[in-house]
Amino acid sequence: MTRRRQFGAVLALTIAVGLMAAAAPVMATTICEVQEYDANGISPLNGETVTVGGIVTLPPGYIVPGDPPGHTSMYIQSGTCGINVFCFDEPALVSADLGDSVRVTGTIEEYISSSSGAGAITEIACESAGDIEVISTGNAVPSPLELALSANVITEDIEGALVRVVGVITVHQGFRMELDGLDDPIIYQGYNDSVNFDYYDVGDTLDVTGFVLQYDTSAPYLTGYEIVPRFQSDMASFSAPADPYVGYSDVEISFREITAVDTTGMAVVADEVPPVFYPDVGEVLPIYYRAPEESRTTLVVYDLQGRVMRTLIDATYDGYSDAPLHYQQLFPYRLGVRGWDGRDDLLRLVPAGTYICRLEATLDGEVSEVTAPMVVGARLE
C-alpha cells in the first residue's frame, strides 16, 4: 500500500512537471544566435523551434506577394543581425509595419530550392500570422551597415541584415546590377515589384540600401550574396562634379551639380529654377549644398504652410553629407548631397505641389540660412 502511494505520488509529480514544461513559454533566442553558421553555412539551430525578437525592416507584402499563393515574407533585425520571416498566411493577415518591434515564434529553416539546389537563406517559418506578436510601434529602423567598395565585402555574418553601399554601375541587366569594385554581391530586384531598376544606367553612381539575400548553388553555402532594395527610396543615382571646391564659408543649395570653379574658389552655378520631379514613379531629387566646415547643419523640407515634411540632415557638416569613408575616397571633391524621394518623415508620399528646402548652418554662434523652392509633380493616369 505504501509503495502504491509512493508510486502514485511520483506519478503525480511527473505529470505536474510535464504540465509545467508544456505550459512554459519558448525561451527567447537572439537573431545573432540563429545566424551563426557551420562550415557549410548552415545555422546550428536549423530545424529547431525558437522565439526571436526584432524591428521590422521590411514589412509584409513587398516580397513573395502570393508566390507561392497564400504565403508572405518580411524581414526583422536586432542590432546588426537580420532574418527573413516566412509566414504561411496572406500578407494582409500579418499586422506588422516598418519600425514595429515584433516577437516571432517559428522553426528555423535553411531554405534551399529542391529544383535548383540554390538558396541557403536562413529564415524563421511561422505557421500563421498569430505567431507574430507586435510589442510596440513607431521604433527607429536600424541603420544600415556601411559597406566598403571591395571584393568579398559580404559574408554569411550579415545575411539578412540591412546594408548600404555606393558605387558606379558597371552592369545593368534589367533585374540585376553590378557595381564597380564589388565582385560579390550584385544589386538584385528579387521578387520585389515595388522597385524599378529602369531609372538607372551604366555609368551612374548608385547609392543603395537593402537587405542581404543569398542565392548559392552548391555547398558550402558561403557565396552568392545579393543586396535587395526594399523601396524605390532605397536607391538614388547621380554623378560627381568634375572640379574641386575650395574656400567656402557660406551656405548654398543647388539642384544641379557644380560645373566649374572660378579663380577665387567660388562655385559657378547656372541660375536655378524650381525643379520638378515625380516621386510617384520613383524619381529622387538630388539636393547639392555647402556649409562651413564643422557647422551644425540642418536640411529640412517644408510645405507652403510652414509645416515640416522631412528632415533630411541634422548633423555636423563635413562636406560629404554624412557619407561613409569609401564614398569620400570615391569622390574626394564632392559637395554635400542628399536626395529627397518626395516622402515625409513617416515615409508617406507628399501631395503634388510646391515645397521649400531650407538649409541652416550654425558655427560659433553665427547662423546662416538659405531656402529654395522645388515642385513635386504627379503623372497623369
Domain boundaries, the chain: 31-136, 145-237, 241-376
What is residue 216's DSSP assignment? Answer: B
Contact status, residue 379 vs residue 281, Cβ threshold 8 Å:
yes
Residue 332 gets the label, from left (phi > 0), alpha (psi -120 to 50) or beta, of alpha
Grid coordinates given for 79: 542590432
Q: So what's the pLDDT on residue 210? A: 93
Domain 145-237 has CATH 2.40.50.140: yes
Contact status, residue 50 vs residue 105, Cβ threshold 8 Å:
yes
> Hey, what amino acid is at 258?
I
Grid coordinates given for 338: 542628399
Query: What kind of architecture, by CATH, is found in domain 241-376?
Result: Sandwich (2.60)
Q: Which residues of 310-324 are buried (b: 16+ CB within 10 A; e: fewer)?
A: bebbeeebebbbebb
Domain 31-136 has CATH 2.40.50.140: yes
Distance CA(187)–CA(178), nearest Å, equals: 6
Q: So what's the pLDDT on residue 114? A: 58
Grid coordinates given for 85: 520571416
Lateral strand order in the sheet of 285-290: 252-254, 285-290, 336-340
Q: Cell numbers 553612381 label which residue?
A: 205
Give the residue from 121, 144, 130 showing the smallest Cα distance to 57.
144
Contact status, residue 73 vs residue 84, Cβ threshold 8 Å:
yes
Q: Cell numbers 555647402 label which residue?
A: 290
Backbone angles phi, psi at 326, to 5 degrees: -65, -25
Distance CA(154)–CA(159), nearest Å, equals: 8
Is the fold of 31-136 the same as that of 145-237?
yes
Lateral strand order in the sheet of 353-363: 276-277, 366-376, 353-363, 296-302, 308-316
Burial category of 380 from C-beta neighbours within 10 Å (exposed 0-12, middle 13-18, buried 19 and up)? exposed
Q: So what's the pLDDT on residue 303? A: 93
What is residue 3's DSSP assignment? Answer: H
Distance CA(246)–CA(301), nearest Å, equals: 27
Q: How would you classify the pairing of strands 176-179 and 162-172?
A: antiparallel
Write the DSSP assignment of 217-275 as a string of letters: -SSS----EEEE-SSGGGEEEE---SS------S-EEESS---EE-TTS-EE-PPP---
Q: So what's the pLDDT on residue 111? A: 85
Backbone angles phi, psi at 4, to 5 degrees: -65, -40
Q: List the pLDDT tens digit at each of the 381 positions of the chain.
A: 322 233 333 333 333 434 434 433 444 899 999 999 999 999 999 999 999 999 999 998 887 544 456 788 899 999 999 999 998 888 888 889 999 999 999 999 998 765 556 678 899 999 999 999 999 999 999 989 888 766 567 889 899 999 988 888 888 898 899 887 666 668 998 777 778 898 888 888 888 899 999 888 888 998 888 999 998 888 877 654 444 333 344 677 777 654 433 333 333 344 456 788 888 888 888 887 878 878 888 999 999 989 999 999 898 887 655 555 555 555 444 567 788 989 999 889 999 999 999 989 898 888 888 888 889 988 755
Q: So what's the pLDDT on residue 26? A: 46
> Hey, what amino acid is at 337?
V
